[in-house]
């Protein structure tokens, strides 16, 4: 529990405070003579988020943790000797925005609202220090916001990338295909789709192990990444299936792209162990037709893929 200390605040204590730099300490002592010095033990709560606060606390000694979460698990900042706590809620007359707890035993000077505004009116230096503090806090907040935005963007990016192959994943494809279909419908430009499936991959996986299977899928992902145009959009659709969107490409161009992929995969996977065995792929091809939905578009490409499988695998078929 925090306890009040009736001892008069000393000039030596006041010199520790950033807010009182270049302030006439003699005149300040008079204003602060009725402000209590409070002693806190480790774990004591100085401020609680969401509760009214009309006091600015000046830290003489100790370290204090700032928490935004209600259970105080993650400390987002630390405040220590010379710094102030709670000044924002005094200024804007709003509840405390964070919980502040003592991380170790400490001493603070509790400056009530009336005394706070008397200090602002009486001392230009105090007002200047307050502006510097608020500017610093605002800059720190902006840095935190920017960091959080970057983290969110990173998490969103990682959530749409397949870790094994480095290609986009099914979630990304499901979000992107309707946009691509809508764009090509509006511009009346061709759009083609390739559905690619590794032939007899389960047998390969069962024979050589999952590690070999992962290496093979990674290799095929690399083939797609290196053999397609910068404007082509690729994703791992699931398991051993891949999908490629080919903007501004008609069915004839899509067939050439499919054959290039099919031949390159056979050549590249021949370098994987065990020697003398390679993987092939079957490819289903569809070109977007007028008025077609994204669901119908992908269903036709998927149907063409099944046709290629039924016709003996290691081939490309039109849908």
Q: Over the chain, what is the mean pLDDT? A: 86
Cβ atoms of 116 and 97 closer than 8 Å: no
Torsion on CA atoms 234, 238, 242, 248, rounded to nearest 10: -50
Identify the CATH assignment for 170-318 out of 3.30.390.50, 3.30.360.10, 3.40.50.1100, 3.30.70.270: 3.30.70.270
Q: Which of 220, 250, 255 is nearest to 237 (CA)?
A: 220
> Could you give the CA distance from residue 5 to residue 93 in angstroms, rounded to a whole number?
27
pLDDT of res. 1: 45
Task: Describe the crossing of helices 294-310 and 170-187 by its angle, rounded to 10 degrees.
Answer: 110
User: What digits encode the pLDDT tens for the residues 79-95?
Assistant: 999 999 999 889 888 89
> Is the bond leading into 306 cis (omega within 30 degrees of zero)?
no
Which range has highest mean pLDDT (22-31, 124-133, 164-173, 294-303)?
294-303
CA atoms within 13 A on the CB side of 61: 12
Q: Which of 162, 104, 94, 125 is nearest to 20 (CA)?
A: 125
Residue ranges of E strands in 239-295? 241-247, 281-287
Residue ranges of E strands in the chain? 3-5, 37-40, 45-47, 55-61, 63-67, 75-80, 84-85, 99-102, 106-112, 191-198, 233-238, 241-247, 281-287, 316-318
* pLDDT bracket for residue 155 (50, 70, 90): low
Active site residue 104: no
What is the DSSP code (8-state) at residue 9?
Answer: P
User: What digits encode the pLDDT tens for the residues 226-272?
Assistant: 888 888 999 999 899 999 999 999 999 999 999 999 999 988 887 77
pLDDT of res. 158: 58
Q: 3-152 belongs to which CATH class?
A: mainly beta
Where in the chain are the domains? Answer: 3-152, 170-318
Task: Count the helices and strands in the chain (H runs, E runs).
Answer: 10, 14
Catalytic: which of 240, 268, 292, 317?
Answer: 240
């Amino acid at each position: 529990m925090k306890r009040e200390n009736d001892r008069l605040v000393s000039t030596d204590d006041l010199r520790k405070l950033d807010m009182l730099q270049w302030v006439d300490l003699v005149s300040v002592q008079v204003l602060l003579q009725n402000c209590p010095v409070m002693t806190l033990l480790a774990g004591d709560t100085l401020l609680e988020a969401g509760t009214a606060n009309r006091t600015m606390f000046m830290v003489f000694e100790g370290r204090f943790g700032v928490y935004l979460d209600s259970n105080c698990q993650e400390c987002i900042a630390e405040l220590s000797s010379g710094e102030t706590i709670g000044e924002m809620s005094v200024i804007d007359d709003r509840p405390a925005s964070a919980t502040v707890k003592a991380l170790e035993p400490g001493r603070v000077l509790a400056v009530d609202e009336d005394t706070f505004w008397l200090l602002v009116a009486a001392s230009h230096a105090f007002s200047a220090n307050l502006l510097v503090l608020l500017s610093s806090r605002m800059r720190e907040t902006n840095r935190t916001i920017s960091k959080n935005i970057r983290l969110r963007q990173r998490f969103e990016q990682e959530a749409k990338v397949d870790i094994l192959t480095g290609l986009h994943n099914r979630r990304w494809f499901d979000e992107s295909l309707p946009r691509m279909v809508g764009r090509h419908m509006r511009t009346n430009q061709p759009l083609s789709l390739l559905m690619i499936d590794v032939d007899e991959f389960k047998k390969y996986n069962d024979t050589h192990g999952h590690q070999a299977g992962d290496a093979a899928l990674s290799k095929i992902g690399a083939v797609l990444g290196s053999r397609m145009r910068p404007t082509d959009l690729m994703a791992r659709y699931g398991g051993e299936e891949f999908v490629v969107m080919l903007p501004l490409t008609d069915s004839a161009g899509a067939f050439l792209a499919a054959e290039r992929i099919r031949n390159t995969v056979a050549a590249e996977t021949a370098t994987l162990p065990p020697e003398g065995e390679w993987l092939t792929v079957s490819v289903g091809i569809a070109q977007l037709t007028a008025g077609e939905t994204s669901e119908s578009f992908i269903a036709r490409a998927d149907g063409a893929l099944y046709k290629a499988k039924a016709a003996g695998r290691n081939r490309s078929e039109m849908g």
